[in-house]
Amino acid sequence: MKIAIGCDHGALALKECVKKVLAELGAEIDDVGVYTEDSVDYPDIAEQVCEKVVSGAAERGVVLCGTGIGISIAANKIRGIRCALCGEAYSARMARAHNDANVLALGGRVLGPELAGDIVRTFFTTDFEGGRHARRVGKIMALENK
């Protein structure tokens, strides 16, 4: 699976931890940055990651900022993206199983590496259940056309 990943300056350390977990899962990683702690605007990173997901250049994405809030809001403004901000593994499981989330958001200043690893492992090993959830995801996506 090819995963696009990107962060702002507030989550650089956690991004590097997440990349190790993704590599352990056998993912091909497309890191769009950042690579230093110089200040950047997280909407720009969200756009780069999500464009790769929407175009099919990546199957899923991971976006990170200090809390994960701002970058998840930005990601969800992009047509075709269902970004879930997760702070524990249960939400990550439900984001995939029930919402078919295609981007995971994490907060670099609120999560430690071990918990983030659990979230990432859960998100990337859980399949969408379909069924009644597919109808609901369809309704979510239809909101983009209103």
Q: Which residues are catalytic?
A: 65, 98
**If you average pLDDT over residues 94-116, what whole number do you get?**
98
Round the average pLDDT of the chain to a whole number and report it. 98
pLDDT at residue 36, as a whole number: 96
Distances (CA, A) of 103 to 29, 38, 88, 124, 142: 14, 24, 15, 10, 18
**If you average pLDDT over residues 63-81, what whole number do you get?**
98
pLDDT digits 0-9 by tens, 59-68:
999 999 999 9
Residue the block writes with tokens 């998840």? 72
**If you average pLDDT over residues 90-99, what whole number do you get?**
98
Confidence of residue 98 (pLDDT cuts 50, 70, 90): very high
The 3-state DSSP composition of the chain as helix, strand, coil percent (nearest 5) reads: 50, 15, 35
pLDDT at residue 2, as a whole number: 98
Confidence of residue 122 (pLDDT cuts 50, 70, 90): very high
pLDDT at residue 62, as a whole number: 99
To the question of pTM greater than 0.85 for the whole model, the response is: yes
**If you average pLDDT over residues 1-9, what whole number do you get?**
98
Share of the chain above pLDDT 90, in %: 99
**If you average pLDDT over residues 5-15, what whole number do you get?**
98
Q: What domain count does the chain have?
A: 1
Which DSSP string corresponds to 49-102? HHHHHHHTSSSEEEEEESSSHHHHHHHTTSTT--EEE-SSHHHHHHHHHTT---
Which CATH number characterizes residue 110's domain?
Answer: 3.40.1400.10
Per the structure, the complete domain to which residue 51 belongs is given by: 2-145
